[in-house]
Structure 1
Amino acid sequence: MAKLPHAEWTRRKDLVPLVAALGPENMRWVGGAVRDTLLDVPVNDVDAATVLHPETVMAKLGEAGIKSIPTGIDHGTVTAVVAGGNVEITTLRKDVATDGRRATVAFAENWRDDAARRDFTINALYAHPETLEISDYFSGLEDLEARRVRFIGDAHDRIREDHLRILRYYRFQARFGAALDPAAETACAELASTLKGISRERVAMEMLAILALPDPHPTLARMQDHGVLPVVLPEAGIAGLKRLAALVEMERGQETPPSAIRRLAALVPPDRKTAEQIAARLRLSNAQRKLLSRLAQRSDLPEGPRALAYREGADIARDLLLLAGLPIDTIQGWQVPDFPLKGGQIVARGIGAGPEVARILQAVEARWISEGFPPASRVAELLEECLSQ
């Protein structure tokens, strides 16, 4: 039987009392931690499945002095609060009824039933917490070896259970896939319209996760060809994909980490009103909405990179420049300076407080920016010149 290789997280001392509390035969590590360890990529979260019901899980954790939170107790999930990072523990489940948006589940008694309700074979791998032996009910190890993302059972059935699995498929395929799975590709294309019934928040979460990948363009291009992208982001189109490809190339050339919102801005037309409508539809956070709206207004960048960074902030300036296909080397690591002149200094020169002070401040600041942010001594000279006019 295959075994999970030892990894840093499998040696965590804070997991020992958790395993002891639940009993090693009553639980298995499952999901991303198992998959990512086998792929030798960083593990971010550790999840467990258990035959114990959530009330029993909380009782046993409490007896062991481990704090627990009933994060999704109605669906069988309890979060164990441990030093090395919280662990979500979910009771084995099986679907009773589904409508494509939510599922009614019942607690199950065996591991295979729990595996059967998961989405992809590579996500249905279970590892014994002590022996690290892997239980694989649907050839997930074989798919992992082939770098193939395959639905468990019939792809159409899995998608009809939860329409969001279409977007999850593209995300996982982009992250882990090599060869495409024809059955999955066909099912996603044929059922693309079902995404219309999914909550916008869930769609946004998956879309932003796809856009944050190293190069999402090939995946989004397939989504366009399959009729998926027109459902979730009809404003993108072929033009948006071209802008995204150019942006990804710029990011690589400038050695800049990806930004999902920056890339979303490339996908959609450079129009503030359109961007705000998209942000509202996807239920983006206030900060994300504000940023997307600003990045949509990028048709004219008359100032130099540092002047732009001074007025907009370094982060927004970087995004605007990249979207415009302009280099960002002059603002990389540059500390945006503070304007070394205050209104009080002008009042001290005999100018009455009010609009005239503001006018002088703006005039001096404009020249200071145009001259490349010279030192305070030059600002004093600029003030003198302005006052003498």
Structure 2
Amino acid sequence: MSLQEQSCLVEDDPAFRWRHDLALKKLFSLMNREGEEVRVVGGAVRNSLIGAKVSDIDCATTALPQKVMEWAAEAGIKAVPTGLDHGTVTLVIDGRSFELTTLRRDVETDGRHAEVAFGRDWDMDAHRRDFTMNAIYMDADGRLYDPVGQGIEDAKARHVRFIGDASGRIGEDYLRVLRFFRFFAQYGREMEPDGYRACIAAQGQLCSLSAERVGAEMSKLVQGPFAVAALDAMHRGGMLSAILASVPHLSRFARLQRLAAQLYQKADLNLLLTALCVDVREDAIRLAGILRLPNRNRDAMMRMARTVRTIGSIDSKLLEQLAYEHGNETACDLVLLALVRRQINPDLTELSMQLRDISLWTVPVFPLNGRHLIDRGMKPGPQIGEQLNKLEKAWVASGFALSRQQLLSMAKTLR
């Protein structure tokens, strides 16, 4: 029996317990009839083999998109034509979304777009995919299929390997350059030399991609557990500075990942990007524009770059002040950023407990408003806001201990 014909059952593997999901069973029941078949493919299978978390369940099917939608309508299942040109329909079953894509082959590619033809050949569908670990299928009985012959082995070894000739696969879609490093950042233990060289050789084609596609890949990449190694490989190959339009602070980024792990914190996208290449507000504006990040990400990076400069020694009082002004999560982010930007070296055991406490801390509400001051005889006008601002600063500086009456007494001296 050839590798392409080999398959194996995962019936008792706890990593595949999701295959018993009732919504997925309904999907199999709906689609596996009249000579058609559906199999789970890609991330769910790959992640289960690796032992990583499974979130989305994507499927491939021999049925044409029109038939998928027809059968869904007959069964009263919502069908969303999310990508009919490429054979993709999303079915919503019991509140769960499943992407179904008809088996296909590439007819014509130009590095950015692909014209596809639908088919019924599982082997051909597998060989048009990017990496071996993404070309593993699982049927309704829990049987795995590995048409390219290396997928299962590579997935278990966390080996990100192109299917066939790496340069040829990249030429079909230049985004695969970034996907190669993104997958390595998420799963990799060993970087395939041929794949790496092909990506470096093709880096000049990245400018032909939309900023949205580049930004989406980079956002996922920096959040991977092996992002430091992936970013370093990209930098050595000469592409990282061009993508970010700045000189990246790789040592700072690596220190952030180490400290976050030591302090049992999860660094979010805004913190990671700020540590990597944002020093001042202009950096945040530029990076958000280059990667087409939402305004909320831009504003968060600007705020962190501005506020971190005010942080000196770290204690519980400072954490509470930061949490009051910026929120609990941002307070933790700012402390981590201060550690890597200002080379502060606190007792990590104590700081870990402080960060845990501040994440659970209930932010207090300032006990005064303008009506309280007016009731005490102050005339309405701009001075009300100025007084409230001064009183709020005093209240925060007191550790939120001053009472309303104490603040009102202070207000008399501020007139």
The answer to whether 1:334 aligns with 2:323 is no
Task: Tell me what 1:354 maps to.
Answer: 381
Note the C-alpha offset of 1:386: 4.0
Q: Deviations over 1:240-275 (max 9, x none)?
A: 112212222232232111201210011113111121
The answer to whether 1:53 aligns with 2:64 is yes
Where does 1:27-46 land on structure 2 (aligned, <5 Å)?
27-46=38-57
Q: Cα RMSD over matched residues?
A: 2.1
Q: Which amino acid aligns with 2:10?
A: P
Further displaced range: 211-220 or 302-311: 302-311
Secondary structure in structure 1 of the residue aligned to 2:190: coil
- Unpaired stretches in structure 1, ≥5 consecutive residues: none
| Aligned equivalents of 1:295, 1:302: Cα separation in 2 | 11
| Aligned equivalents of 2:150, 2:229: Cα separation in 1 | 27
The answer to whether 1:79 aligns with 2:85 is no
Query: Do the aligned partners of residues 107 and 299 (structure 1) sit closer, same or farther apart at CA in structure 2, a change above 3 Å counting?
Result: same
Note the C-alpha offset of 1:355: 3.1
Further displaced range: 228-237 or 108-117: 228-237
1:3–1:127 contact (8 Å) kept in structure 2: no
- Unpaired stretches in structure 2, ≥5 consecutive residues: 1-5, 313-317, 345-350
| Aligned equivalents of 2:114, 2:78: Cα separation in 1 | 28
Note the C-alpha offset of 1:84: 5.8
Query: Do the aligned partners of residues 386 and 17 (structure 1) sit closer, same or farther apart at CA in structure 2, a change above 3 Å counting?
Result: closer
Task: Tell me what 2:3 maps to.
Answer: none
Task: Tell me what 1:310 maps to.
Answer: 324
| Aligned equivalents of 2:100, 2:225: Cα separation in 1 | 30
Secondary structure in structure 2 of the residue aligned to 1:78: strand
1:208–1:261 contact (8 Å) kept in structure 2: no
Query: Do the aligned partners of residues 192 and 271 (structure 1) sit closer, same or farther apart at CA in structure 2, a change above 3 Å counting?
Result: same
11, 19, 29: which one aligns with 2:28: 19
Task: Tell me what 2:401 maps to.
Answer: 374
Where does 1:1-389 land on structure 2 (aligned, <5 Å)?
1-6=6-11, 7-23=16-32, 26-83=37-94, 85-130=96-141, 132-237=143-248, 240-298=249-307, 300-301=309-310, 304-325=318-339, 327=351, 329=355, 331-376=358-403, 379-388=404-413
1:250–1:322 contact (8 Å) kept in structure 2: yes
Note the C-alpha offset of 1:68: 1.4
Note the C-alpha offset of 1:133: 4.0
| Aligned equivalents of 2:63, 2:198: Cα separation in 1 | 35
Further displaced range: 35-44 or 92-101: 35-44
Q: Deviations over 1:128-185 (max 9, x none)?
A: 2235242432421222233211000000111111111111111212222222211111
In the superposition, the TM-score normalised over structure 1's length comes to: 0.92
Query: Do the aligned partners of residues 145 and 350 (structure 1) sit closer, same or farther apart at CA in structure 2, a change above 3 Å counting?
Result: closer
| Aligned equivalents of 1:139, 1:8: Cα separation in 2 | 24
Query: Do the aligned partners of residues 63 and 352 (structure 1) sit closer, same or farther apart at CA in structure 2, a change above 3 Å counting?
Result: closer
**Could you tell me the percent identity over the aligned residues?**
39
1:5–1:38 contact (8 Å) kept in structure 2: no
1:236–1:268 contact (8 Å) kept in structure 2: yes
Further displaced range: 323-332 or 227-236: 323-332
